[in-house]
Structure 1
């Protein structure tokens, strides 16, 4: 299993008990959807290693308390601190027709109400306070905030996102 075949679920952020339990900070809007997992992949020394879950429960809102098989001491848990957690893409919950996962829209055509075709979505930059669509058009990069108010329609079948951007946003890139 490679990272390309998986999605990032969260990070092991702390130990929970002296019996090897850990807390995983989940990167999801629906943490309760991940309380019944049987296993996860842990990014350990740049390898995705499967870890089987004996029990798990939510702590607060986005922390998952997990007891992994064969992680029985504080020292075992220490070894996993700050490791990223992944699941196969096939484990992603189904979304409504007008919703999308960021990885799904890479390669989609971006159409704007006023400008027509504004390019191809190359990636989504999540390294900012507001995630941004990174769109390429004729060698130029166009950045549009990932904001429901700017998306007028999602057409998964034809791989197109229709935008209705506020005045001035696209002008800085296209004029």
Structure 2
């Protein structure tokens, strides 16, 4: 299995995606791509929560110059694989479906670790993940999962 690790930042818990990050293990290490998302016209401004903005540090104004959601969706489609892992599939799946306009099956990172490396690997994986910085930005957060996966693959 060659997973893609996904993280999405959103306008609020009930809102729309504002940033997406994807990471994967490549031939020379971890490859990460992330992008801010200019909202579609139908995405309600009422779903912008200033408390969410405080957490991820992305001001609403920064989205004015971000790539259009349809362009980001095309770039995401080109980067997805059959195994997409998220540490929060219930939210990331909702936002990804909103962006792509179709559902995508996400696998919970914890379940993928158990299935791939065995149940005893999960506490180690969670310890490693907790030790990494989590800036609540899509690219670095997706990359943190990929880093833990790489360490498990390498048996560290």
- When the two structures are superposed, what TM-score results if normalisation uses the length of structure 1? 0.28
TM-score (normalizing by structure 2): 0.31
Q: Comparing both chains, which one has the higher relative contact order based on Cα–Cα distances under 8 Å and sequence gaps of 6 or more?
A: 2
Larger Rg: 1
